[in-house]
Chains A and B, each alone.
Chain A
Amino acid sequence: MKAVVTQDLTKTYANGVRALVGLTLEVEPGTIFGFLGPNGSGKTTTVRLLNGTLSPTRGTAQVLGLAPDSEAVRLKTATLAELARMYDHLTVAANLRFFARLYGMDRAAADRKIGGLLAALELDGRLEQKLGTLSTGLQKRVYLARTLLNDPEVAFLDEPTSGLDPESALQVTELIRALARERGTTVFLCTHNLPLAERICDAYGFLHQGSLVASGTTEDLVRGVSEPLRVRVTTFEGVHESVIRGEEEINGLVRSIMDAGERVRDVRVMRPDLEALYFHYLGKASR
C-alpha cells in the first residue's frame, strides 16, 4: 500500500484562486519525499488537502489507504505546518502533555514518550521552560517533538527549517532523516531549501504554479533531462572535460584519450545536481 496517493487532485479557493491543478502522485512508504516548489506554488495547499483540513474541488487523495479527512488518518499521521505554532504561554511540558492527551495517552505514557523525544531532540532541561522563551531553533525542535508524539506513519513537514540558522536547519534535517530511517516513517517534506532536501530525500516532486512538473528519484529526473552529459576524464597528465550525447559514448572517449598516450586515473559523469534539475524542470514549465 502506498503511503500517499493522489489522483487529479485540484483545489480552487472560494476567491477563484487555483492553488492546485490535477496533482497525480504516489509516495512509497518509508521514504522521504521532497515536495519542492517556490512560494505560492501550492505546497501548503497540498499538505492541507492530505491532512484533511481542506477538501478538494476535484480529484481524490488517500493517505495510508484512507480518506484524508478521517479521524483515523489524523491518528496515524502528524503535520508540522509552516506557520502553525504551539502555546507560547505554556511550558514545553504542558504543551506536549496536552497534545499527547489528544492522541489518547495517559499522563504516565505521555511523560515517558515526552522524556524520550526531548532526549533525542537534545531538549533535556527545557521541560519546565515556557515555550515562548525558547529560541526559534529550540521551538522548532519542540514542534518536531509534538509531531512525533503519536509515532506517525506519515509525517507532513511543511518548511520545517524556515527561519532557522544554517546550523539549526542542518540539525533539524538530520533529525528528520533519523526519524525516517529509524522509525520507518514516511516523510512528505515541503521545502525550498534544495541543498537540505538533496541530503535526505529519496524522491522528489517539483511543483510550479499548482501543477506537478516532474516527479521521481534523482535517476528518474536525470533521465528526463534531454540535455547532453558532461564527462570529466582525469589523467596523470591532465583533465579532459567533454560533452557527450549518452553514456554509451564514454568508452570511445576514454579510448581516444588513452590512444593519445595519456594514462587515465578517473572518469566521472557530471550529473546535474538537485538544484540544476529543479531549475531545469521549472524553467521548462515556465516556457
Chain B
Amino acid sequence: MNGQRVRAVMAKDLREIGANPMVVIPMTLVPAVICVVIPTVILVVALGAGAARGVHGLEQVEKLIVVYPVPAALTEPLHRMLYVILNYTFLPMFMIVPLMMASLISANAIVGEKERRTLETLLCTPLTNRELIVSKLLVSFLPAVTLSWAVFGAFFLVTNGVSLAMIHQWIVRSWIWLPSLLLLSPSVSMMALSLTLLVSLKARTFQSAQQVAALVVVPLVAVVLAQVTGAVILNALYVVLASLALFAAAAVLILRVLPRFTREAIVSTL
C-alpha cells in the first residue's frame, strides 16, 4: 500500500469537505444544537425557573435516578436529576455526533464522488482498490472521532461553566464519559462507516447513502428510551461491552464488504 497516495486522497477529501456547505453546515450545526445548545437550555431553565417554582414529578424521577452513582456533593434533588440527565440519559444522544459525522463524511467521500462523477477519474489513476477504501475509511473515521471529542470539550466547558456559575458545582463529571469517548465514540463511528460502505455499493446519491447509514441512530434512541423508563441503567461496563460488540460487528461487516468493493462494482453503479 502506497502511503503517499492514501494521504493525498485524505487531504483532498478534507479540502473538499471544507469547501462543501452541504457537509459543513450539518457537521457544525447539528452537534452544536444537540450537544451544547439543548443541554445548556435544560440546565439554565431547570436551575433558573425550575428551582424557583419547583419541578413537578421530581419524585418519580428521583425513584428512577437513585440507582445512578451521583456524587455526594450534589444534595439537591434537582441537581441530582440534572446530573443523571446530563451524564447518563444524554450520553446515547451524544453518540449521534460520531455516528452522524462518520456517515456524512463517508457518504460524501464515496457516494458523493460517484454522484459528482469524480470517482471514475480516481479509478483511472494508479490508486489501488485497497488504497481507495483505506483512505476513504480513515478520512471519515478520524474527523468523526476527533469532532466528537471536540464537541464533548465544548459540552463539558459550557455546561460546567453554567452550573459553576449558578450552583457552584461541576455537573458533567461522570467517569462514564471516559470509556464513552475513548471506546464507544470510535466504535459507533466504525459501525456507521461500515454501513455506509455497504450501502455505497448500490447507492447512487449521497443523500440516499447517508439516510440508510443513519438508521444506526435507531438503537441509540432505543437506549435513551430504555434509560428513561428504567429498563436500562447505563454503567461503564455496559459501555465497554457495547463498544467491543460494535467494533466486532463493524470489523466483520467491513471485511465482508471489502472484497465486493471492486472497480467493476463501482463503475457499474455510476
Interface residues, chain A, CB within 8 Å of chain B? 13-14, 48, 51-55, 69, 71, 74-75, 78-79, 81, 83-90, 94, 98-99, 101-104, 146
B261 to chain A, nearest CB (A): 13
Which residues on B sit within 8 Å (CB–CB) of A88? 116
Tell whether, in the assembled complex, residue B8 and residue A98 are in contact, meaning their CB atoms are under 8 Å apart.
yes
Q: Which of B2, B15, B267, B270 contacts A90 (CB 8 A)?
A: B15
Contact (Cβ within 8 A) B121 A102: no
Q: Which of A54, A78, A86, A101 contacts B118 (CB 8 A)?
A: A86
Judging by beta carbons under 8 Å apart, are A81 and B128 in contact? no
B19 interface hit (Cβ, 8 Å): yes
At the interface, yes or no: B126 with Cβ under 8 Å from chain A? yes
Most buried by B among A48, A75, A85, A102: A102
Q: Are A102 and B5 in contact (CB under 8 A)?
A: yes
B59 cross-chain contacts in A, Cβ below 8 A: none
Say what secondary structure dominates the interface of chain B. Answer: helix
Contacts of B11 in A (CB 8 A): 98
With A52-B263, A83-B120 as known contacts, state yes or no: A103 contacts B125, CB within 8 Å: yes
Name the contact of B264 in the complex, choosing from A55, A71, A90, A104 (C-beta under 8 A). Answer: A55
Q: In the docked arrangement, what's the CA distance between A27 and B128, Å?
A: 27
CB pair B123–A53 under 8 Å, yes or no, is yes
Q: Do B126 and A84 touch across chains, with their CB atoms under 8 A apart? A: no
Q: When each residue 1-23 of chain B gets 1 if its CB lies under 8 Å from chain A and 0 otherwise, what string results?
A: 01011001101100110011000
Instruction: Report which of A48, A74, A85, A99 forms a contact with B267, defined as CB distance below 8 A.
Output: A48
The verdict on B60 contacting chain A, using a C-beta distance below 8 Å, is: no
* A86 to B: closest C-beta gap in Å: 6
Closest to B124 in A: A79
CA A238 – CA B149 in complex, angstroms?
91
Closest Cβ–Cβ distance, residue A282 to chain B (whole Å): 27
Contacts of A51 in B (CB 8 A): 124
A78 touches B127 (CB 8 A): no
Cα distance A144–B121 in the bound complex, in angstroms: 12
- Decide yes or no: A71 and B128 within 8 Å by CB, A48-B267, A102-B8 being known contacts: yes
Listed from nearest, the 5 A-B pairs whose CB atoms lie closest are A89-B19, A101-B8, A79-B124, A84-B120, A84-B121
Inter-chain contacts of A84 with B (CB < 8 A): 117-118, 120-121, 124
**A180 CA / B260 CA spacing, docked (Å):** 38
Chain A, Cβ-Cβ closest to B118: A85
Q: How far is the CB of A136 from chain B (nearest CB, A)?
A: 14
Query: For the complex, what is the distance from the CA of A75 to the CA of B15, rounded to whole Å?
Result: 25
Distance (whole angstroms) from the CB of B10 to the closest CB of chain A? 11
Is A71 touching B117 in the complex (CB atoms < 8 A)? no
Q: Which of A53, A89, A101 contacts B4 (CB 8 A)?
A: A101
Q: Taking CB as reference atom, which chain A residue is nearest B5?
A: A102
